[in-house]
Amino acid sequence: MRVLVVEDERTLANLIKEGLEEENFSVDVAYDGEEGLFLAENEPYDAIILDIMLPKIDGIEILRRIRDRGIKTPVLMLTAKSSVEDKVLGLDSGADDYLTKPFSFEELLARLRAVIRRAFGETENIVKVADLELNLNTHEVKRGGVKIELSSKEYALLEYLVLNRNKLLTRSQISEHIYDYEYDFDSNVIDVMIARLRKKIDKGFNKKLIHTVRGAGYMIKG
């Protein structure tokens, strides 16, 4: 999953980025509201972590603008204020959840996963396609009850395919969701990753789950 962090406290922003990358997220960071708004409006994210108090453009204004443009990316608001009024303002402006500073990274991670699951229509941590199971919390992958070891990028690719099961995904869509803004995209990389993932997920099984749509992209279906 690809996440945008908009936070002007650089130490905090970088700690969030490092922690999320350890959890297999692809993360872009903006340190002011202007850059944050530009990225939110022009890049596809699975979630946005958005501080309220920002230089140039505050978080509430960013939230209002992206919602006015029809961008439905789930937003987790960060606020140093704990008053009910501030929380209500954020939620009424289109936030999906909020977190008051200071917070633990574990709570941030849990809330982030929850808003992403809801955005994909999922209510459980374990998502299934046929006999393939993904645990969205632990990143454990099983097929036919047998655990499968994946690299962080292989897991990110599989997770994106599974959460969009039965939908065609282009190479560009896949790349945009599993790599960050600075990645120099080469479509061949996705083909190579799909080939590696097929060997681990489909090899030895009669029912193949990962499918190629020639000239278009890939999908997973069961």
pTM: 0.86
What's the CATH number where 86 sits?
3.40.50.2300
Same domain for 130 and 113: no
Beta carbons of 5 and 17 less than 8 angstroms apart:
yes
- How much is the pLDDT for 180? 67
- How much is the pLDDT for 178? 85
Same domain for 137 and 34: no
Same domain for 135 and 32: no
- How much is the pLDDT for 187? 59
Task: Say if strands 132-135 and 2-6 run parallel, antiparallel, or are unpaired.
Answer: unpaired
DSSP 169: B
> What's the one-letter identity of residue 152?
S
Dihedral of the alpha carbons of 185, 191, 196, 197, in degrees to the nearest 10? 90
Position with higher pLDDT, 11 vs 179:
11
Same domain for 92 and 147: no
Last residue of a domain, one of 52, 86, 119: 119
Q: What is the mean pLDDT of residues 7-13?
A: 97
pLDDT confidence tier of residue 27, bands split at 50, 70 and 90: very high
What's the CATH number where 173 sits?
1.10.10.10
- How much is the pLDDT for 134? 96
Compute the distance between CA of residue 73 and CA of residue 45 in angstroms, rounded to an integer.
7
Phi, psi of 206 (to 5 degrees): -65, -40
**Structure tokens, 90:** 């954020």
Last residue of a domain, one of 100, 119, 138: 119
Same domain for 111 and 36: yes
pLDDT confidence tier of residue 130, bands split at 50, 70 and 90: very high
Same domain for 173 and 208: yes
Beta carbons of 140 and 127 less than 8 angstroms apart:
no
Residue found by looking up tokens 């439905």 in the block: 72
Same domain for 69 and 12: yes
Same domain for 38 and 92: yes
Same domain for 143 and 60: no
> What's the one-letter identity of residue 191?
D
Helix (H) or strand (E) holding 173: helix 171-178
Number of structural domains the chain divides into: 2
Q: Is the pLDDT of residue 177 over 90?
A: no
Domain assignment of residue 100, given as a range? 2-119
Position with higher pLDDT, 25 vs 84:
25
Compute the distance between CA of residue 112 and CA of residue 17 in angstroms, rounded to an integer.
13
Same domain for 130 and 107: no
Same domain for 146 and 106: no
